[in-house]
Homo-oligomer: A and B are copies of this chain.
Amino acid sequence: MSNDSIDDPRATAVEQLEAFGLSAYAARTFVALSSLGTGTARDVSQVSEVPRTRVYDAIDELQDRGLVDVLESSPREFWAISAETTSRSFEQEMQNRTNLLRDSLSELEPVERTVEQRGVWTVDGQRTITDRVLEFFEEAAEGIVYMTVEDLLTDDLIDGLSDAAERDVRIQLGGVSADVQDRIQDDVPGAEMFESLWLWSDTPAGRLMMVDGQKVLVSALVNGDDGDPSDPRGETAIWGAGETNSLVVVLKAIFTWRLERDDEVP
């Protein structure tokens, strides 16, 4: 468990710059220059541990990206742009890249994402599973049934449900305590609540989803017996789709049976 937030700013800055495609030397050089404001190759080399003779290459790289300016004197001096300008510049580049990616990918995406019939897909990790659930929420046309441990009902999921509700998708939500139910009612007005179908909170179960009666997902918490929802990797899920998919069939049966009973006896 390395301390990431307490970590010194230099390390984090270097890490991000490298993730944005800078070489290690360039990243360290830039960070050094940022704290110096202005400096020569030797200054940079001393505070950044970059070999002096290589500072020049690093500067070239940075100059091409427009991150430093050079004062042509002897010794040469270097000047780094401000933190604000730097991050805005990368922000823009990345925005641009995500747009390019979105466009090119949707262009090649097959018109109809085939609905799988047989078999069950696996997904690991809380963040990933949530993404998957959100993806399914978006494709929902008729109804969503969602039952979850409270810790896993994050804001983005509520947003997803709310969006679906606005498209007149029927929302049925279970497993949440009374006080949280009130909050949900504000964000997702049309949502119908139902009591937990089983004793839920003590099991390692995580969530349980069904959309349009033909796509389902279930997850479990997997840190030994005591699933700890705060561990982002401690969740694993499976999902399946199609009217004849076995997972779908069995869950659909259970859900409709229980939910209709609830309807009869309110």
Contact = CB atoms under 8 A, between A and B. Distances in A.
Given A94-B94, A101-B16, A104-B16, A128 B66 contact: yes
Contacts of A73: 119
Nearest to A36: B110
A84 B138 CA distance: 10
A120 interface: yes
Nearest to A70: B122
A91 B123 CA distance: 21
A143 to B, nearest CB: 21
A114 interface: yes
Contacts of A119: 71, 73, 77
Interface in A113-169: 113-114, 116, 119-125, 127-128, 131-132, 134-135, 138
Given A82-B135, A104-B13, A105-B86, A69 B122 contact: yes
Contacts of A120: 71-72
Interface residues of A, number: 69
A177 interface: no
- Copies of this chain, tallied across the complex: 2
Given A37-B114, A73-B119, A94-B94, A86 B108 contact: no
Contact of A123 (B66, B131, B134): B66
Contacts of A71: 116, 119-122
15 contacts: A13-B101, A17-B101, A31-B105, A34-B109, A35-B109, A38-B114, A71-B116, A71-B120, A81-B131, A82-B109, A82-B113, A83-B102, A83-B105, A84-B102, A85-B131
Interface of A: 9-10, 12-13, 15-17, 19-21, 31, 34-38, 63, 66, 69-73, 77, 79, 81-87, 89-91, 94-95, 97-110, 113-114, 116, 119-125, 127-128, 131-132, 134-135, 138, 239
